[in-house]
Chain A
Amino acid sequence: MKKNGKFAGFYLGLMFFLMYLPIGVVVVFSFNESKLPVRFTGFSLQWYERLFGNSAMQEALVNSLILAVLSCLISAVIGTLGAVGLFRIHWKTKGVLEYISILPLMIPEIILGMVLMAFFYMLGLPFGMLTLLIGHTVFCVPYILMEVKARLAGMDPSLEEAARDLGAGSFRAFWDITLPLIMPAVLSGSLLAFAMSMDDVVISIFVNGPKLSTLPIKVYTQLKTGVTPEINALCTIMLGLILFILFLYVFFGKVKSRLFK
């Protein structure tokens, strides 16, 4: 370990540098005065001003937030119930069921998007917020399910039994004991799902309506017409938001580990 210390440190530094350099560049140039992303001519907030003056962009942001919050809430309920259910059953097919339930994470997004589009078309659902919501919920559920499942597996099953023994019905025991104990996992899974929903392009493109646009789609379509530093500003804001969510995720993880040490 000691022998490789210097090289390992150098390698690690290089890797992080290469990974985060482009992000750093975007952040720096979002504050650039000049429109050309080659030279930093001076600090300015003009691109942020322009971004906030852009009503289409704002609308897309609102859409994205509504979508992320709603799909997060719905998948939190579905994912938690699913994990608890999977934990309680002792069928022979349990392993298969568990794989099926996290399959949306492993299927390539483009396939999932196409399949969802074809499915909604078949059902005759109007493409818009509803289809987006269903699509996002599909890939958000597994994040929460996996987190909660891991938490449940580490939980002492005699806790719920103790509650039953003390006079709680099975629902009351779940509500009083199991739910508070898995809550940190539900929250951290939801935050992860929120981050995933916030920046999803592929599935959203397939299932969004003609009138509706989410923020990532808006950015993507704008790129085609030419990059303005406005996009840099937008990226910086989204980056900040995602970092904040990740911070919360880690924070809840900390709370979780402190509660159950």
Chain B
Amino acid sequence: MTEICLELKNIQKSFTEGEGVLKGISLTIGKGEFITLLGASGCGKTTTLRIIAGLERPDAGQVFLGGKEVTMLEPEVRDVNTVFQNYALFPHMTVAENIGYGLKLKKVPKNEIKKRVTEMLELVQLPGYEKRRPSELSGGQKQRVAIARALINNPKVLLLDEPLGALDLQLRRTMQTELKRLQKKLGITFIYITHDQEEAINMSDRIAVMNQGRFEQIGTPDEIYNHPKTSYVATFVGNANILYGTVENREGTKALVEFGCGSALVEMGQKCPSPGEKVTLAVRSENILLDESGSIGLEAIVKEKSFAAGQLRVTLKLPGEEEVIASRYGIDSNVAVGQKVCWNFHPEAAVLVDCKENMAQGEAPGEETYA
């Protein structure tokens, strides 16, 4: 276990009575860690960030920074800096004045400020931009200045609120790599907010998936992607199909699950449920195998075919009105809309989600460990 940098203990916050934005979240973040809060808009991730920054006060719970409680401290005395979603560069100051503002407040001598601003600009690959105004910069450049302005203060934690949200896809990819490079080089703890699961998986050491003011699951990108604990995580991160079924039979760690349109064998591991139990399974679309001849597996009717991002997506309609999406690379599929097909998946491809144990762990604060 590395040194603990930031700790949130049972944070609660609501803006209107009865509607909790944060319903008691806890999180422990290690020094030098890159952690991403991932969630759809309105899940409370920005509020979490603002509470860490001190721009918002929690109704209950505590924030510890480097072992000291900072819950009620003003933002200016916290060793935390933020990169705002819309950059929030001061329009009446030059790039150099923007970046040097934090040091000016600390009464660092002017020469020293100038030297460090130049260094920072080199670090974010904008050398020679000192005299520009924010209005003369492109989105990506503004972003770099915002990052430099925060990092120059050498904070314990850098908070990034969807910093790449306004950039185009290509620039976003470049910036992702660059942010990761900066973080590795400086060894500063990054808390990153995004609703883009690809971005989260790409950059993070750990991901905390948030939903309706709670953490659904906290873990490494591999854990989140390959071993989701809840159906929300499985669908939000892995775009997985959620299947509801009943266990019919059990053989060792494998179970035969009935889905209403046939049954399939599922590898359950140690937590294998007993016959008669209802289970929820997540199977990612690329793991759904289509049998066009319609002979082996579970029954379905092809409802829709679409092609996106190099993948052919086939939407299958199950007898019970549920839908399952199968995807594969390439467009060489002979299935036609309306055709009756069969589908299947490998026993190892299905992940058991939403079981009581998992849920309890997701909600109980302070129990998760971190790498």
A168 to B107, CA, bound (A): 12
Which of B86-114 touch A at CB < 8 Å? 86, 88-92, 101-102, 105-106
Q: Specify which chain B residues have a CB less than 8 angstroms from the CB of A77 in the assembled complex.
A: none
Whether the pair B88, A159 counts as a contact (CB closer than 8 A) is yes
Whether the pair B84, A161 counts as a contact (CB closer than 8 A) is yes
With both beta carbons as reference points, the residue of chain B lying nearest to A155 in the complex is identified as B91
Chain A residues bordering chain B, tally (CB within 8 A): 21
Whether the pair A259, B76 counts as a contact (CB closer than 8 A) is no
Interface bracket on B: 20 to 34
A261 within 8 Å of B (CB atoms):
yes
A169 to B76, CA, bound (A): 6
Whether the pair B91, A259 counts as a contact (CB closer than 8 A) is yes
Whether the pair A159, B90 counts as a contact (CB closer than 8 A) is yes
B135 within 8 Å of A (CB atoms):
yes
Q: Specify which chain B residues have a CB less than 8 angstroms from the CB of A166 in the assembled complex.
A: 76, 81, 101-102, 105, 149-150, 153
Whether the pair B88, A161 counts as a contact (CB closer than 8 A) is yes
Whether the pair B90, A177 counts as a contact (CB closer than 8 A) is yes
Whether the pair B88, A156 counts as a contact (CB closer than 8 A) is yes
Whether the pair B105, A168 counts as a contact (CB closer than 8 A) is yes
How many Å from the CB of A161 to the closest CB on chain B? 5
A151 within 8 Å of B (CB atoms):
no
A172 within 8 Å of B (CB atoms):
yes
B341 within 8 Å of A (CB atoms):
no
Whether the pair A156, B86 counts as a contact (CB closer than 8 A) is yes
Most A CB within 10 A of own CB, among B76, B89, B150, B153:
B76
Which of A161-186 touch B at CB < 8 Å? 161-170, 172, 176-177, 180-181
Which of B167-189 touch A at CB < 8 Å? none
With both beta carbons as reference points, the residue of chain A lying nearest to B78 in the complex is identified as A165
How many Å from the CB of A243 to the closest CB on chain B? 29
How many Å from the CB of A74 to the closest CB on chain B? 26
Instruction: Known contacts A158-B84, A161-B75; decide if A167 and B91 are in contact (CB<8 Å).
Output: no
Instruction: Known contacts A158-B86, A172-B105; decide if A165 and B53 are in contact (CB<8 Å).
Output: yes
Q: Specify which chain A residues have a CB less than 8 angstroms from the CB of B71 in the assembled complex.
A: none
Instruction: Known contacts A165-B53, A167-B153, A169-B76; decide if A181 and B105 are in contact (CB<8 Å).
Output: no
Whether the pair A180, B92 counts as a contact (CB closer than 8 A) is yes
A163 to B81, CA, bound (A): 10
Which of A99-136 touch B at CB < 8 Å? none
Whether the pair A164, B105 counts as a contact (CB closer than 8 A) is no
CB 8 Å contact bits of A136-167 with B (1 = contact, 0 = none): 00000000000000000000101101111111
Number of interchain pairs (Cβ within 8 Å): 65
Whether the pair A167, B53 counts as a contact (CB closer than 8 A) is no
Whether the pair B92, A165 counts as a contact (CB closer than 8 A) is no
B36 within 8 Å of A (CB atoms):
no
Whether the pair B76, A167 counts as a contact (CB closer than 8 A) is yes
Q: Specify which chain B residues have a CB less than 8 angstroms from the CB of A165 in the assembled complex.
A: 53-55, 75-76, 80-82, 150
Whether the pair A164, B84 counts as a contact (CB closer than 8 A) is no
A170 to B77, CA, bound (A): 12
A171 to B84, CA, bound (A): 21
How many Å from the CB of A2 to the closest CB on chain B? 36
Which of A209-261 touch B at CB < 8 Å? 259-261
Q: Specify which chain B residues have a CB less than 8 angstroms from the CB of A176 in the assembled complex.
A: 101
A166 to B77, CA, bound (A): 9
With both beta carbons as reference points, the residue of chain B lying nearest to A181 in the complex is identified as B92
Q: Specify which chain B residues have a CB less than 8 angstroms from the CB of A167 in the assembled complex.
A: 76-77, 102, 105-106, 153
B348 within 8 Å of A (CB atoms):
no
Most B CB within 10 A of own CB, among A159, A162, A169, A259:
A162
With both beta carbons as reference points, the residue of chain B lying nearest to A161 in the complex is identified as B55
CB 8 Å contact bits of B44-80 with A (1 = contact, 0 = none): 0000000001110000000000000000001111001
A29 to B285, CA, bound (A): 88
A140 to B284, CA, bound (A): 67
Instruction: Known contacts A164-B74, A165-B55, A169-B74; decide if A158 and B149 are in contact (CB<8 Å).
Output: no
How many Å from the CB of B146 to the closest CB on chain A? 8
Of A161, A163, A261, the contact of B135 (CB 8 Å cutoff): A261
Q: Specify which chain B residues have a CB less than 8 angstroms from the CB of A164 in the assembled complex.
A: 54-55, 74-76
A24 to B88, CA, bound (A): 50
Whether the pair A162, B88 counts as a contact (CB closer than 8 A) is yes
Q: Specify which chain B residues have a CB less than 8 angstroms from the CB of A163 in the assembled complex.
A: 90, 101
Could you show 11 A-B contacts with beta carbons less than 8 Å apart? A158-B86, A159-B88, A161-B82, A161-B88, A162-B89, A165-B82, A166-B76, A166-B105, A169-B74, A180-B92, A260-B91
Q: Which residues does B use to contact A, with CB under 8 Å?
A: 53-55, 74-77, 80-82, 84-86, 88-92, 101-102, 105-106, 135, 149-150, 153
Q: Which residues does A use to contact B, with CB under 8 Å?
A: 156, 158-159, 161-170, 172, 176-177, 180-181, 259-261
Beyond the given A163-B90, A261-B135, could you list 16 further A-B residue pairs with CB under 8 A, ordered by the A residue number? A161-B55, A161-B84, A162-B82, A162-B88, A162-B89, A165-B55, A165-B75, A165-B76, A165-B80, A166-B149, A169-B76, A181-B91, A181-B92, A259-B91, A259-B92, A260-B91
